[in-house]
């Protein structure tokens, strides 16, 4: 059994980790930490876990966490980097769901997160946990940085086009919509029911923290640096990311065949039949990214539609997918769920 610790388990990604790991046949949950809820039974805070998780929240303790085979950090940004170096020294594997280790450039990280990175030497060691690109590196990783939700949906949509070099890389557009849970489990006026219901709005158009992460990932598979315009939107739903991606073709090709072949052996990327339109509700609660590719009016514009659950493939499910790869388990173990509809 894999002994697992979860740091920061009271947020949405933390409880999603618990929900999925509770039924994983190869996992033993050793400790579930929360500074604010220490001593309280997990099921008191999350009644859906009653009968599945019988632990109490505990204070994060490096000695206790170091006894685990792997520790997940479901913490706000700038928290994991305070504890990760010591866990790495003790040979404990770390899977971080925050943005602390996603960017390889410490200066760029500091520009976007407005504070110094406390362990920049680990940025080059961290493996970016997008299995569809970095599966081999994940297998031997000590530290894995789980991609963000917008970056996952956006990269999976653009990657086949960039790998084949058939689009103008200077003018990529990602128009992405997120459910309110993407803002996290905290009190904020903008995510109150009366503020977000019956409403949709763009935000962070001048620059979103996920932009450098997306650009870094796309540059890794592109022959030339990409120019990306990324505009996120808040939508009145709880879960889901829907990204509509635009690019200009420089070479005509069978786009449907290209996407089907690229993801033919990927267990969690579902390329829909030609003419399809993926919906967020068809991936709710699942680790699946559903993709459709279009070429409107047979012109030179390609439109890719990409839908994921931001808390699963965009966070906790992808983290477990990384764990399965890391410990040489079947990749879909514990996360091969079916969406609930309606």
Active site residues: 149
Question: Which of 312, 282, 18, 17 lies closest to 182, judged by CA?
Answer: 312
- In the chain, the N- to C-terminal Cα span, in Å, equals 35
CA distance 312 to 317: 4
HEC letters along 280-303: HHHCCCCCCEEEEEECHHHCCEEE
The single residue listed with the structure tokens 């339109």 is 277
Sheet holding 57-58, edge to edge: 57-58, 27-33, 2-7, 70-73, 93-96, 143-145, 127-128
The single residue listed with the structure tokens 């709005």 is 201
Distances (CA, A) of 104 to 1, 127, 217, 243, 318: 32, 10, 11, 25, 20
Rg of the chain on CA atoms, in Å: 20
* Angle at alpha carbon of residue 315, lines to 229 and 17, rounded to 5°: 170
């Amino acid at each position: 059994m894999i002994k697992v610790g979860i740091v920061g388990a009271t947020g949405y990604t933390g409880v999603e980790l618990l929900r999925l790991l509770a039924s994983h046949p190869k996992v033993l949950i050793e400790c579930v930490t929360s500074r604010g809820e220490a001593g309280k039974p997990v099921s008191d805070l999350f009644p859906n876990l009653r009968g599945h998780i019988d632990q109490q929240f505990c204070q994060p303790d490096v000695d206790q966490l170091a006894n685990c085979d792997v520790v997940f950090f479901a913490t706000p940004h700038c928290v994991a980097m305070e504890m990760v170096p010591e866990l790495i020294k003790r040979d404990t594997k770390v899977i971080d769901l925050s943005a602390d280790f996603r960017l390889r450039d410490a200066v760029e990280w500091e520009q976007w997160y407005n504070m110094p990175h406390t362990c920049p030497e680990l940025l080059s060691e961290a493996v970016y946990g997008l299995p569809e690109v970095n599966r081999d590196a994940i297998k031997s990783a000590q530290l894995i940085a789980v991609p963000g939700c917008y970056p996952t949906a956006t990269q999976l949509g653009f990657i086949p086009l960039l790998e084949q070099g058939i689009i103008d890389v200077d003018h990529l557009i990602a128009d992405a919509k997120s459910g309110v849970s993407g803002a996290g489990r905290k009190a904020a006026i903008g995510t109150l029911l009366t503020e977000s219901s019956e409403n949709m709005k763009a935000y962070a158009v001048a620059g979103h923290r996920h932009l450098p992460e997306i650009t870094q990932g796309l540059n890794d598979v592109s022959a030339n640096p990409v120019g990306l315009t990324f505009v996120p939107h808040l939508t009145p739903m709880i879960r889901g990311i829907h990204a509509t991606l635009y690019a200009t073709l420089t070479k005509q090709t069978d786009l449907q065949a290209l996407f089907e072949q690229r993801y033919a052996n990927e267990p969690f990327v579902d390329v829909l039949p030609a003419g399809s339109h993926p919906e967020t509700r068809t991936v709710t609660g699942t680790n699946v990214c559903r993709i459709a590719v279009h070429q409107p009016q047979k012109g030179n514009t390609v439109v890719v539609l990409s839908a994921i659950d931001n808390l699963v493939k965009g966070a906790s499910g992808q983290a477990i997918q990384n764990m399965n790869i890391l410990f040489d388990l079947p990749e879909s173990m514990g996360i091969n769920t079916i969406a609930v509809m309606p």
